[in-house]
Amino acid sequence: MSGTKLAGGPTQDEIMAVSLFKLGLRSTDTVLEIGCGSGKVSIAAAERVTKIISIDKRPEAIKIARESAQKTTIPNIEFFCTDAADFLKSDRIFDCAFIGGTQQLDLILPVLAKKVRRTIVVNAVLLSTLAQAVATMQQLGIFCEVVQVQVARSHEIAGSIMFKPIDPVYVIVGKGTAC
């Protein structure tokens, strides 16, 4: 990966495992990732599905994600540097969608709900994002659940082991309505 550091950092492995599980990925799926950042989630999901469409509006994120993907042998990821609202104007339909970071959830989720056949997962660290995602999904009638994931990792200290917590992440799950 390049030396550029993205805001928010890559998704922690444990959070990614829960998020991918909640997506319920199938080998025939086409998956959309909005706010792909470093590309870590797209790369992990690409091993399980037919195609990943990864978008981020930050050119530096797309550069890092492409570099990360090129270090693997995974050929089924397409990266686009674009705003989610603009990208969703296309006629594409997806089996699942993962939102790792985006603004304007209240505008994007209604459009995304019509373009996703099965599952939408939103990861949130901010309470305002959690509230907005849940409220919007409830209004759309697609809300399923929120799972709060709190991870702590062991660290050696004074000849023993302690645990350092990582900030909690809220995994918000909804169902798409596209036919």
pLDDT for 8: 62
- Low-confidence residues in the chain, pLDDT < 50: 1-3, 179
Note the pLDDT of residue 166: 87
pLDDT at 6: 62
Scored b (16 or more CB within 10 A) or e, 159-175 reads eeeeeeeeeebbbbbbb
What does the pLDDT read at residue 2? 43
The pLDDT assigned to 75 comes to 87
Reported as a single tens digit per residue, the pLDDT across 89-138 is 999 999 999 998 777 899 999 999 999 999 999 999 999 999 999 999 99
Q: What class does CATH assign to 13-175?
A: alpha beta
User: What is the reported pLDDT for 144?
Assistant: 96
